[in-house]
């Protein structure tokens, strides 16, 4: 198969310009090219089967961009969505008119704000937006608010709790959305645990809700001051949960733990608990079974390290709360994974299966929320 004379001429002329990106609309059989001056368009006129003609066009683009007209099929087989495309010339992939190539760029660790702009011109999708916003250079660049706005606009149409959690977590990065949008998302969190899970993952210390510190915090704070100044990690975590932001976080965790919609929400909240309390874990390389957590906490209290002993000496009345902190520090996604991998249950049935793990966690959260 050969190009029509009109297409051959127009494509060859187009390729003499400095192109930034190329996309092909297979419905209208139109090739679009992005240049520094704007957007160019070439209407295609197949001389045979449309699929073969598109292949011919893409091979021409590949030959121009990569110097290998016949290498395109093998080249594309090596692209993945695992963020492993770390080549120096990933900008060339945006010249192939191939969606998988665009996805490869969106997932690349070498992505820049400018490449994100070009990739977004080529192909707009929620997955691409989320992955690109995970790169600090994009989230803090000119494309950050653009991608966040797209995700927020399409969020009401997301049906996957995993995508909702991921989207909320990502758009809550500093500077991406305004206060009104944040409050609108927070309003949805009141009736959807997926939104809630995204908020506590992204803003554990800055949830957009009015909360009061625990009733005894004002009396405890002066006693903790010397330890906080010395960087005592146990004192820092105790102060964190007793103050107003910590109480808001505990309330939110309690709510999500009681009403996880599905396994994605359950896994997310346990990952968040791990991230929040894990700084006090005894051995970061070891994942305790639920039945081992209590014994581990009691052992640490009976034989405390220096920092823990100092905290116990300063606030002996808060020994139960400190015990709760130690127990929660040994909790994570690994605590529920053995249960969830053996079931496809969701809703109330899943919650019942998780009770051996979730109930003790809820008890420790309650202990941290209520002054004795």
**pLDDT tens profile 182-239:** 999 999 998 899 999 999 999 999 999 999 999 999 999 999 999 999 999 999 999 9
* Residue 285 confidence (pLDDT): 83
Residue 30, beta-bridge partner list: 25, 43
* Residue 1 confidence (pLDDT): 79
Residue 71's pLDDT band, with cuts at 50, 70 and 90, is very low
Q: Is the pLDDT of residue 319 over 80?
A: yes
* Residue 72 confidence (pLDDT): 41
* Residue 222 confidence (pLDDT): 98
**Alpha-carbon span 116 to 266, nearest angstrom:** 32
**Alpha-carbon span 201 to 183, nearest angstrom:** 16
Across 304-331, average pLDDT: 98
Q: Is the pLDDT of residue 86 over 80?
A: no
Count Cβ atoms within 10 A of the Cβ of residue 151 and give its class: 0-12 exposed, 13-18 middle, 19 or more buried. buried
303 Cβ contact partners less than 8 Å away, ≥ 6 residues apart: none
Q: What percent of the chain has pLDDT over 70?
A: 94
**Alpha-carbon span 322 to 27, nearest angstrom:** 63
Q: Is the pLDDT of residue 151 over 50?
A: yes
* Residue 107 confidence (pLDDT): 94
> 172, 207 in Cβ contact below 8 A?
no
Tokens coding 317: 């009345």
Output the DSSP codes for 289-343: -HHHHHHHHHHHHHS--HHHHHHHHH-GGGHHHHHHHHHHTT-SHHHHHHHHTT-
Query: Looking only at Cα atoms, what is the longest distance across the chain?
Result: 88
Q: What percent of the chain has pLDDT over 90?
A: 87
């Amino acid at each position: 198969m050969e190009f029509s004379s009109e297409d051959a001429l127009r494509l060859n002329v187009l390729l003499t310009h400095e192109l930034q990106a190329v996309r092909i609309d297979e419905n209208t059989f139109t090739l679009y090219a992005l240049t520094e001056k704007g957007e160019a368009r070439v209407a295609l006129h197949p001389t045979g089967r449309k699929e073969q003609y598109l292949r011919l066009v893409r091979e021409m683009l590949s030959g121009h961009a990569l110097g290998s007209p016949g290498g395109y099929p093998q080249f594309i087989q090596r692209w993945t969505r695992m963020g492993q495309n770390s080549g120096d010339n990933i900008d060339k992939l945006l010249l192939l008119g191939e969606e998988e190539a665009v996805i490869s760029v969106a997932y690349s660790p070498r992505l820049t704000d400018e490449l994100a702009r070009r990739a977004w011109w080529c192909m707009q999708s929620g997955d691409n937006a989320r992955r690109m916003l995970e790169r600090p250079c994009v989230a803090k660049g000119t494309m950050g608010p653009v991608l966040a706005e797209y995700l927020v606009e399409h969020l009401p149409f997301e049906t996957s709790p995993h995508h909702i959690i991921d989207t909320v977590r990502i758009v809550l990065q500093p500077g991406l959305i305004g206060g009104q949008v944040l409050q609108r998302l927070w309003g949805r969190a009141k009736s959807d645990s997926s939104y809630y899970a995204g908020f506590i993952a992204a803003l554990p210390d800055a949830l957009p809700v009015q909360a009061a510190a625990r009733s005894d915090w004002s009396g405890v704070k002066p006693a903790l001051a010397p330890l906080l100044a010395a960087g005592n990690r146990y004192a820092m975590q105790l102060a964190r949960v007793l103050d107003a932001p910590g109480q808001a976080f505990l309330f939110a965790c309690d709510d999500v733990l009681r009403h996880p919609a599905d396994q994605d929400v359950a896994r997310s909240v346990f990952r968040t608990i791990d991230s929040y309390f894990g700084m006090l874990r005894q051995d970061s390389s070891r994942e305790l079974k639920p039945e081992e957590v209590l014994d581990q906490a009691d052992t640490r209290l009976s034989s405390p390290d220096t920092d823990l002993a100092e905290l116990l000496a300063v606030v002996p009345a808060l020994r139960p709360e400190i015990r709760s902190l130690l127990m929660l520090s040994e909790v994570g996604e690994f605590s529920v994974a053995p249960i969830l991998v053996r079931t496809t249950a969701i809703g109330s049935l899943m919650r019942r299966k998780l009770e051996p793990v979730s109930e003790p966690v809820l008890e420790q959260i309650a202990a941290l929320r209520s002054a004795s």
